[in-house]
Amino acid sequence: MSKFTTLYSGYGQSLWLDYIDRNLVVNGGLRELVSAGVRGVTSNPTIFHKAISEGGLYDDTIRDLMQADAQVDAPTLYQWLTVQDVQMAADILAELYRSSDKADGFVSLEVSPHLAHDTQGTVEAARHLWKMVERPNLMIKVPATRAGIPAVETLIGEGINVNVTLLFSTARYEEVMDAYLRGLARNPDPHSVASVASFFVSRVDGMVDDALAELDGPEAASLRGRIAIANARLAYSRFKERFSSPDFEQQRRRGARVQRPLWASTSTKNPDYRDVLYVESLIGPDTVNTVPPATLDAFQGHGEMRATLEQDDGQAEKDLQALAELGIDLAEVTEELERDGIVKFADSYDALLALLDRKRFQVSKEYARG
């Protein structure tokens, strides 16, 4: 039995792969991972940019699409390519989706990052992708911005699965859970819909550690590499409170499932830290951890498994209190991380469209030469 399977059967946590490309879904790699216990796939513009830019994996498909429509623009090409990958991945995961009673087996696809502050635009884009992919185990990624929150409520109410992404603060997480509950109340068949709330981890340590490095003293040094985990554990305690509340119990009786916390950005950026730090430290029931291939391999190779989310003994709150006493405002940090996250995904999206424009130009030249 692989560690991925044991993680789920023994600890109640689903491990998802934070990567997708055409080779993975066509040549059997994803099937092998699913057989080994991987239970879902997530994607974003940065991942697709990496997949499409490396080598000529998508070139033949681009030529075929342009042969069908020589005037096709880069955003349409991007949508066609990503939808094809997501559809194939969703088909591979379909049996897991059915056998898990619609709890796992999902593939996530993101709306344009440029819609992060546009509620109606997000809703319309999500509906469009939902119809285009036409797979019940699709999850639409919606950012947890102020504009994204009401979009989550609407989409859940309509039965569209949502991966609420770019979550950094527990305060915003409270708003996300509220939106999910309101959406469930509007949904005539809440058992048919699923959602995860993607709480970003390592990026918090990246910014907080920089601030701590500017301070003198052993206390500041002792908090390095601890705040992201403390923040995630506090979010998990909020999750347990909210989904044991009377408001959710009413929806549970109607067949609703919890909106699981998903630990995202779990690769270790600091080489001084253990490469599976953010996997080992956040193991607990009713959660998901989505990891890139390198972290997946590292965890399978030397990761240690034990229930860590619920064996905290109040240390998370102590660490967060100590951070505040040092004058570092975590709320300001998470607000900046949200802004930066939106910009980074938008930049990746724009870079991908520019890449596709270059490929369109190359194919056009080939046609012109005959």
212 within domain boundaries: no
181 within domain boundaries: yes
Q: What angle do CA 324, 328, 329 make, to 5 degrees?
A: 80
Residues 13, 243: Cα–Cα separation, whole Å: 17
Domain that holds residue 277: 3-203+225-309+337-365
218 within domain boundaries: no
Nearest alpha-carbon partner for 122 in 158, 170, 80: 158
Q: Using CA atoms in the order 359, 363, 368, 370, what is the torsion angle rounded to 10 degrees?
A: 160
329 within domain boundaries: no
Instruction: Tell me the helices (H) and strands (E) count for the chain, helix number first.
Output: 17, 8
Return the amino acid letter for 52: I
Q: List pLDDT tens digits, range 201-247.
A: 999 999 999 999 999 899 999 999 999 999 999 999 999 999 999 99
256 within domain boundaries: yes
321 within domain boundaries: no
Return the amino acid letter for 25: V
CB 79 within 8 A of CB 43: no
Q: At what angle do helices 330-369 and 59-68 cross, to 10 degrees?
A: 70
Question: In the chain, which stretches have pLDDT less than 70?
Answer: 1, 365-370
CB 28 within 8 A of CB 20: no
Residues 111, 96: Cα–Cα separation, whole Å: 25
Paired with 14 in beta bridges are: 288
Identify the CATH number of the domain in which residue 172 sits. Answer: 3.20.20.70
Number of domains in the chain: 1
141 is known as an active-site residue: yes
CB 178 within 8 A of CB 240: no
CB 232 within 8 A of CB 198: no
323 within domain boundaries: no
Phi, psi of 170 (to 5 degrees): -70, -30
Tokens of 48: 């697709």
Span between the terminal Cα atoms of the chain, in Å:
55
The residue count for the chain: 370
- Residue 104 DSSP code: S
Which residue in 3, 50, 102, 141 is the catalytic one?
Answer: 141
Residues 238, 234: Cα–Cα separation, whole Å: 6
324 within domain boundaries: no
Return the amino acid letter for 325: E
- Residue 215 DSSP code: S
Model pTM score: 0.95
Q: Where are the alpha helices (DSSP H) in 12-147?
A: 22-26, 29-36, 45-53, 59-68, 74-99, 119-133
